[in-house]
Amino acid sequence: MEAKMLAPAAVLVLWSIVMLFWTAFSRFPAMKKLGASIKTAPPGGRGSQLDGVLPDSVMWKSHNYTHLMEQPTIFYPTVVILAMLGPNPGTIVIAWAYVALRIIHSLWQATVNTLPIRFTLFILSTLCLVLLAIHAFELTVLA
């Protein structure tokens, strides 16, 4: 197993945890300003119900955390496949590029959140993921 291939996944996991805490540390003060708290939330309440209640700039962090629970779920098994079957140095670079782009995407969405830049970052990271998936396909199906 090639541990260097798993390092980008470990970094993205840690980054996801950073975004989780950033979400909480921005959401709870905003809720307090409105006089709301976890104690006053209705049963079965969901964070998405705060859209339109809390300021958009507060919710951007939560939206990004949700995004980190979506597409990266394809990234994680892909890097495990590659780590098990032998990545090449270029594949490791592409995995790091994917993680760097996702982190930049997070920072952009959580702070500025203009769509043209955010979408560009998403497309570039998706292209990295496609390249990784193709390499995993080659190692598993075409081997």
Write the pLDDT tens digit of every residue in 10-29: 999 999 999 999 999 999 89
Q: Per DSSP, which regions of the chain are E strands?
A: none
8 A C-beta contact, residue 59 and residue 50:
yes
What confidence tens digit (pLDDT) does each residue in 100-118 have?
A: 999 999 999 999 999 999 9
Determine the structural domain holding residue 59 and report its residue range.
Answer: 3-140
Domain CATH code at residue 17: 1.20.120.550
Q: How many domains does the chain have?
A: 1
Q: Retrieve residue 37's tokens.
A: 């708290």
